[in-house]
Amino acid sequence: MARNGIFLLRISIGLIFVWFGVLKFFPGVSPAEQLAGSSIEILSFGIVSADIGLPILAVWECLIGIGMFIRKYMRFTILMLYVQMVGTFSPVVIMPDIVFEGFPFALTMEGQYIIKNVVLIAAAMVIGATVRGGKLQSESQ
């Protein structure tokens, strides 16, 4: 696990981001399309419409995924992931009625979709710890 864990973590996160990003290129396919589009419009004060913002988000997510695959610019890729997560978590604050059925614990399906990203943030932190040569080590050395 110590030998392959970080590699598999990067590949699995990359797959998730490419997959979810590609879905956003096709109207009506992504389950997060409505939520993401509304968030983009609210966060941009209506300057960026969902029609413009969703393809940009799709490219952004695909770049994060590709960055996880190739590993060359990992620090920048992780930064992009964190910035994307700010937007992902924004509905918790700007649209709590969409996120919660009963505040603060009863989440809607959209809320669950958002909260599961805590795992991706933690995974990015673990990957980030290895960018400058950090390693996982087994306990028996």
Q: Where are the domains of the chain?
A: 5-128
- What average pLDDT does the structure give for the chain? 92
Residue 73 to residue 122: CA distance in whole angstroms = 19
Handedness of CA 89, 93, 94, 99 (dihedral sign): positive
Q: What is the mean predicted confidence (pLDDT) over 73-85?
A: 96
Nearest of 72, 57, 68, 73 to residue 120 by alpha carbon: 68
Greatest mean pLDDT among 29-33, 51-55, 69-73 lies in 51-55
> What are 12's two structure tokens?
């699995």
Six-digit token string for 87 = 């937007």
- pLDDT class for 140, splitting at 50, 70, 90? low
Q: What is the pLDDT of residue 63?
A: 98
Decide if pLDDT at 71 tops 90: no
Taking the alpha carbons at both ends of the chain, their separation in whole angstroms is 14
Number of H helices, E strands in the chain: 7, 2
pTM score: 0.90
Nearest to 17 by CA among 59, 73, 52, 54: 59
